[in-house]
Amino acid sequence: MTEETTMRRTPKQKRGQQRVEQILDAAALLAVSEGYENVSTNAIAKEAKTSIGSLYQFFPNKDAVYLALAQRYVDELSNLLAQTAMTSDDTLSFQDRFDLLLNRLAVFYLENPGFQPLLFGSYKTAVMASGQEVLCQMVDGMDAILAQNTDVSESSRYLQATIIVHTLKSTLPLIVADDEAESQVALAELKRLIRGYLDAITGKHHP
């Protein structure tokens, strides 16, 4: 990765770390409201309530800001998947584990509205490579969960994990709505969709 798309420096002090987080939060909001292609570093600095000089202390340009934001999404999503796959709660059934995962993904989507348009938008930038990394991370995490509960071949299981992830990629945005009741209905329907597929690949019925 070139200097043009990497952070100029990683802050070590808490104040600097907070400033970077403010910049990334502002960039996420603008990606939703304005669209990635229409955002400028000046707009990000204004939204973050900081000076453009302060932004340039950490980032050389807009792409560097959004690549850092994309990496934050990747890290958070990876942790979410790992926590679900590695949970030590033996009382959770196969279906309960997936319901837990979908609940966590729903919260992630609602708390990070910039995730979908940034990583899976129509524009072609270096940020899009992070979108592919997200998908790979999600498939790996899903595969780990399936591995604990199915006895199919590794190649078949990975394909099943890929199908589930791409289904989630297409349908999870439906839960991001101003109407909380509508979001809950959409989430319930998504769970029913995934439950049906799990029944089919495991040969079991999960009430």
What pLDDT does residue 181 have? 86
State the amino acid at position 126 in one-letter form: A
Domain extents in the chain: 3-202
What pLDDT does residue 2 have? 44
Q: What is 3-202's CATH number, 1.10.357.10, 3.20.20.120, 3.40.228.10, 1.10.260.40?
A: 1.10.357.10
* Range in 47-51, 111-115, 130-134 with the lowest mean pLDDT: 130-134
Residue 75 and residue 137 in contact, taking contact as beta carbons nearer than 8 Å: no
Whole-structure pTM value: 0.80
What pLDDT does residue 126 have? 63
What pLDDT does residue 87 have? 67
Output the average pLDDT for the chain: 83
CA distance 63 to 70: 10
What pLDDT does residue 5 have? 65
pLDDT digits (tens, 9 = 90+) for 42-75: 999 999 999 999 999 999 999 899 889 988 888 8
